[in-house]
Amino acid sequence: MTAKTLAVVLLGMASLSTRSAAQEITVAAAADMGSALTELAARYQKKTGTSIRLLFGSSGNLTQQIKNGAPFDLFLSADEDYPKQLIEARLAERNSLYRYAVGRLIMWVLKSSSLDIEHHGVNVLLDASVKKIAIANPQHAPYGRAAVAALRHFQLYDKVADRLVLGENVSQAAQFVESGNAQVGLIALSHALVPAMKDRGRYWEVPNDAYPELDQGAVVISRSQHKKEAAAFLSCLKTPEAQAILRRYGFSTPEGKR
Amino acid sequence: MDWQAFWLTIRLAVVVAAVLVVIGLPIAYWITYSRWRWKFLAEAAVALPIVIPPTVLGFYVLLALGARSPVGRWWEALTGHTLAFTFEGLVIGSILYSLPFAVQPFAASFSAVDTKLIAASATLGASRVETFFRVILPLSISGLVTGVALSFAHTMGEFGVVLMVGGNIPGVTRTVSIDIYDQVQMSNYAAANQTALVLVLIAFLVLSLVYALNRRMWAIWPWK
């Protein structure tokens, strides 16, 4: 390859990469948003041509990454505390904060389980066959905090505390149950409703009043080079179409709230 | 400072290093002296945990220990509980994870032993077991020490496997690395730094001790 062709190729690659960068945003989202956001992003990409890179983790973990300079444009948390922390630290745009969904906590067992959660609800946790109960880590996962609050609400926490196992995030808590290592999990409804899991388990929805509302907040990251595009995607989440998708995946939406 | 996590991590590392001596020595012996033509396959298999990402290894261990796998069901029938989320479960995961770090130094030092000495030992009427303990092993002490130190250190700092199969139970499966991770997640950088510093100091101390002992190992070896 001559120097000239090489230069042309390199220039071409450079222009390609800058062009695609202008139309690509990176969205970091809480683990419970997995399926819903994948569908929402695919639709958005088809409609607008903006490609969306998705990554998922526990909200606490993603917040740490943002604090340490992760190149995200938009952050969809599983609560509102983390986005507010980022706003306080001037790492996220105050006026972009938006409650895009409300999470729902469920008790989940494998289909083959002998536990009658549909009728006995939370009391099955006292069943002798329940050796381990999986929840997300309450220290840094909102669903973990909701699970602990619900257990305290039913005055079960002290009785089951030595049987709790903590997933790093709510997906891992679900994985503990799915792999047959824990008998019951307190996880997100959105997990139980994804196609891969729907036929694998049964669930009982924990009543709303048993835990503080799982308001999920989104913010645009201040360091982002694509704030406009990120805000555009965020406002797309406010459309009735998007909210219908969120409801289908097991979230309440701010309008259609309890 | 969560001293419980330190105690747990040290116990885990000691148990894993000890078990790896017991199962690592025969594996290394076989790898070194076997003339089986497909031996390289076994060597490759032993090295696999270096390649497999720890979380992936941990995930498969979790599946293998679960109620849906034969191993998991067998253990549950035997003991009444599953292996995941227990100390024993962590030991099993860590043994797999650290196996190459024990076997490879062992095997390397065995193959450095002069075969003439082994032949001489046999000529003098020593059995294979006697030859191993009185000729091969004394000449391989530094490899043995390296293997023990590496598997100890590797287990001390283990994160991915423990994260996947541990379930973060205080005193049972919450090791120091998990504790540090949690502190970072909660933005307690100061606490995380302190814990990490103590971890480094303990590891440095233990490793120095092991390597110091290595220099004088001949002095305490019983069969000279």
Give the start-end residues of each E strand in A115-176.
Answer: 133-136, 164-167
Structure tokens at A66: 């943002």
- Identity of the highest mean pLDDT range in A21-30, B97-106, B141-150: B97-106
Instruction: Give the Cα separation of B180 and A111 in Å (integer).
Output: 36
B78 pLDDT band (50/70/90 cuts)?
confident
Helix (H) or strand (E) holding A106: strand A105-110
| Inter-chain CB proximity B67 and A140 less than 8 Å | no
> B58 to chain A nearest CA, in Å?
12
pLDDT at B1 over 70: yes
Q: What SS3 state is found at A215?
A: strand
Dihedral sign for Cα B178, B179, B180, B185, please.
Answer: positive
Give CATH 3.40.190.10 domain extents, chain A: 3-102+214-248, 105-205
CA distance B95 to chain A (A): 20
Question: A61 contacts in B (CB within 8 Å)?
Answer: 185
Query: Tokens for B172?
Result: 């049972």
How many Å lie between the alpha carbon of B181 and the closest alpha carbon of chain A?
9
Q: Which residues of B touch A181 (CB under 8 A)?
A: 62, 65-67, 72, 82, 84-85, 167
Classify domain A105-205 at the CATH class level: alpha beta
**End-to-end alpha carbon distance in chain A:** 66
Identify the pLDDT of residue B47.
93
pLDDT at position B54: 92
**Residue A13, amino acid:** M
DSSP, res A163: G
User: Distance between CA atoms of B114 and B136, rounded to whole angstroms?
Assistant: 9
Q: Is the ipTM of this complex over 0.90?
A: no
Say which residues have a Cβ less than 8 Å from residue B203's Cβ, sequence separation at least 6. B153, B156, B157
Predicted confidence (pLDDT) per residue in B204-218, tens digit: 988 888 888 777 655
Q: Which residues of A140-169 are buried (b: 16+ CB within 10 A; e: fewer)?
A: bbbbbbbbbbbbebbebeeebeebbbbbbb
pLDDT tens string, chain A, 258 residues long: the values are 466 666 655 555 555 554 444 578 999 999 889 889 999 999 999 999 999 999 998 888 889 889 888 899 999 999 999 999 999 999 999 999 999 999 999 999 999 998 999 889 899 999 999 999 999 999 888 899 999 999 999 999 999 999 999 998 888 999 999 999 999 999 999 989 888 888 899 999 999 999 999 999 999 999 999 999 999 999 999 999 999 999 999 999 876 444
Interface check A131 vs B, CB under 8 A: yes
Q: How do residues B164-208 score in pLDDT, each as one tens digit?
A: 988 888 888 999 999 999 888 877 889 999 999 999 998 898 888
Residue B144 DSSP code: H
Contacts of A113 in chain B (CB under 8 A): none
pLDDT in tens, B8-60: 999 999 999 999 999 999 999 999 999 999 999 999 999 999 999 999 999 99
Other residues' Cβ atoms within 10 Å of the Cβ of residue B139: 16
What mean pLDDT is reported for chain B?
89
Taking only the tens place, the pLDDT of each residue in B79-88 is 877 788 899 9
Three-state DSSP at A252 gives strand
Question: CA-CA-CA-CA torsion for B135, B137, B143, B148, nearest 10 degrees?
Answer: -170
Domains of chain B in start order, with CATH, are 3-31+52-214 (1.10.3720.10)
Q: Which of B82, B163, B186 sits opposite A140 (nearest CB)?
A: B186
CB pairs under 8 A between A and B: 66
What confidence tier does B6 reach under pLDDT thresholds 50, 70, 90?
A: very high
Domain A3-102+214-248 architecture: 3-Layer(aba) Sandwich (3.40)
Q: Residue B41 contacts by C-beta under 8 Å, 6 or more apart in sequence?
A: none
pLDDT of A12 reads: 56
- The pLDDT of residue A258 is 42
Using the Cβ of B81 and the Cβ atoms of chain A, whether some distance falls under 8 Å is answered with: yes
Nearest CA among A51, A48, A93 for reference residue A75: A93
